[in-house]
Amino acid sequence: MSHEKPKVPCMTWGAFMQITDNFWPGPPTLTEKDYPSLTGKVVIVTGGNTGVGYQTAKSLAGSTNAKVYIFARSEEKALAAIRRMELEVAQEYNKNKIDVHFIKLDLGDLTTIKASADEFLSKEDRLDIIIHNAGVMTPPKGSKTAQGFELQLGTNAIGPHLFQKFLDPLFIKTSKSNKPGESRVVWVASSGHFFSPEGGIFYPDPNFRNTNFPSMRIYGQSKACNVMQSVEWPKHHPEATNVISLNLCPGALKTDLQRHTGTAGRIMSGLLHDARKGAYTELFAALSPSITVKDQGIHVISFGKIGFNRKDLKDPANTSKAWDFLDKQVEKYL
């Protein structure tokens, strides 16, 4: 075990209240009737075959004219999800055809991500919105990615970091022809970021191989990374003046994300909301005209309100260090 113990900032009253608000957030503030048409636009939703990602992709398919790409690990499950989506969109939106496509993506294996991005880039000449939705929460202790990273850090933060790098050139090129704020990169974080180590990442042992740390706090580290990615992305792409990079907590939701939470998750299930509500959070972040290019790194909470992130995760020294750390993990796979 590591002799150095991770420090976690004390929970503030404001943070406690924001976390509590997840359970009683009020109605969505931006719904299908408010969404722009997105005609001619291309949107990526990772993890769009299940849970809130599925609902986000379905809402886009049903209420807009966007071309939607679902990136997910399982082709079988994703194609089944698209078939189900077709039926539900016809029933719920009275729309008989959807423009939804699948590309395989395994965020837990960095050696495969370039091929996934290249497949997309071979098919499209524009990219308007990226929603980094895919993730895992509190898997069995010791779970790792193909490269040996702690599974949550690898899947929730390192994998998306690499994926975004491959998409950046087309994404930024597209943004130059869009109006300010139409191009967005949405990092799906969580209120769990409040439980992360001080500074966001426990650098002495980021994979917690030799450090005993509660599983929810390890999850929090991966979500703190997403917060810091949203803050740092614009700094590394100053030419992308029309892009908004932001992060969110989709809400307290009933999704597959809770499959590893055990008894605690079952106890809390009565307070959780349907995954569809979480789609309203994600699409508020992706589409709301009230968010502008001046709002880089802003935090959206359920179901379409502006919240706040823990202060140290917005500190430039910490966000820069985290970005450099993530860059180092992916550099050999570029």
Instruction: Enumerate the β-bridge partners of residue 188.
Output: 248
Backbone angles phi, psi at 8, to 5 degrees: -125, 125
Q: Which of 35, 54, 69, 219 is catalytic?
A: 219
Cβ–Cβ < 8 Å for 261, 237: no
69 tagged catalytic: no
Q: Is 150 exposed, middle or buried (0-12, 13-18, 19+ CB in 10 A)?
A: buried
Q: What is the DSSP letter of 150?
A: B
Q: Which of 58, 67, 223, 277 is catalytic?
A: 223
Cβ–Cβ < 8 Å for 248, 281: yes
Q: Which alpha helices (H) appear in 102-214, and where do they start and end? A: 110-123, 151-153, 159-175
Helix axes 159-175, 110-123, angle to 10 degrees: 20
Which are the contacts of 179, defined by CB distance < 8 A and separation ≥ 6?
A: 242
321 tagged catalytic: no
Q: Which helix (H) or strand (E) holds 319?
A: helix 316-330
User: Which residues are marked as active site?
Assistant: 219, 223
